[in-house]
Amino acid sequence: MSVDVAAIRAQFPIFAAQDRPFHYLDNAATGQICAAAADALLRYETTARANVKRGVYRLADAATTAFAEARAAIAAYLGAAAPDEVLLGCGATFALNLIAHALAPRLAPGDAILVSELEHHSNIVPWQMVAAARGAVVRAIPVTEEGRLDLDRLDEVLGARTRIVAVTHASNVTGAVTDVARLRAAADTVGALLVLDGAQRAPHGPVDVRALGCDAYACSAHKMFGATGAGALWVRGDLLADLPPFLGGGEMIRRVTIERTSYAPPPHRFEAGTPPIGAVLAMGAAARWLAAQDWTALAGHELRLTERLLSGLAREPRVRVIGPTGLQGRLGVVAFAVAGVHAHDVCQMLDDFGVALRGGHHCAQPLMDRFDVAATARASFAPYNDTADVDALLDGLAQTIRKLA
């Protein structure tokens, strides 16, 4: 099934603004903002700006309604049972910190939190922090040579004291998509909660958190073609009702006295202070844009681009792909290392060819350690990418290798 990439690109203002070849392949770091999201942000900030939830005048009431509509759009995109299960904040990192600290009181000394070697630092460091505070331990699911979770070794790290399993839905380095059903079944054997970092998976089509069976799911607006500075955390309704707040301040209260405070119900209990209103409205618009796309066609398009890139990289003897070299159970995220050349040099040279690529450890140092590399270059696809982007990368890489390797 074909995809009209030109029509999609027309909905992203940045492409019309370029005065030289522009092959944007850094979508795993941040996606470009779609016009619908940019318009929502600009409209709020310039013609509809007011604080939400508290004002009773017309402008504030309209902003509050728009904020609620954005929450509903994000909830629908994630497959939530109700909009109030979705907590809105400043990004996926904030969301993962929120759920980690909200779950911390449930941990006792000797309890275990299970992460994996695939994780972004945002899904490791918060759990280390709460583990240190509660006397718990953090263990990691190993990763296979193909860059996937080694679930055949799950019994080595999952134990009776495992209380939380927190893993990525899709790796920001290898592109591997997690077998959530198998992980959910394993977590159920010890009564553990399952938290998914969906920052990489959410931009690739609607998510059904209830079908996944997870207990919490985090995602980020700027990777979903919205504005920077917003993100969402979905939490299963009955669990959310029992969690304590993460931050204190305005809006999250029911009643405050000098002696004590009673808290508002979810989601307000978890949204202290003025939220990133404009960015949330843009995220809602981006969620609606994403939901309207043909993801059957786009998934096939992304895999064709991935196959083209993997085939081209395989022809370069100095290139090592970190992650799956096949197309099963993966997204269009491809990390690679060039023997004898630092990833930063590769990416800087590729910029001369109009190719925007990410180079570094991708906030995944344990995974870099696992594969004994300091850094990789990484290409990542979005709906507006096409074969010209892949070919520009491969042609530029071949010339770069000749010059540097």
User: Within 13 A of 116's CA, how many CA atoms are on the CB side?
Assistant: 28
User: Which residue of the set 90, 219, 347, 363 is catalytic?
Assistant: 363
Q: Return the closest-CA partner of residue 28 out of 128, 154, 230, 176.
A: 176
User: For residue 400, what are its two tokens?
Assistant: 């770069």
User: For residue 70, what are its two tokens?
Assistant: 């954005």
DSSP conformation class of 259: S
The secondary element (H helix, E strand) that includes residue 296 is helix 295-314
Per residue in 73-99, is it b (16+ CB within 10 Å) or e — as a string? bbbbbbebeebbbbbbbbbbbbbbbbb
User: For residue 122, what are its two tokens?
Assistant: 């945002």
90 labelled catalytic: no
User: Within 13 A of 256's CA, how many CA atoms are on the CB side?
Assistant: 6
Cis peptide bond prior to 267, omega within 30° of 0:
yes
Radius of gyration of the chain (CA): 22
Distance CA 396, CA 405 (A): 13
Strands ordered across the beta sheet of 216-220: 86-89, 231-235, 216-220, 193-197, 162-168, 112-116, 137-141
User: For residue 300, what are its two tokens?
Assistant: 């096939």
The secondary element (H helix, E strand) that includes residue 365 is helix 365-370
Amino acid at 324: P
Distance CA 187, CA 183 (A): 6
Q: Count CB atoms within 10 A of the CB of residue 259.
A: 5
User: For residue 44, what are its two tokens?
Assistant: 């709020």
Residues tagged active-site: 363
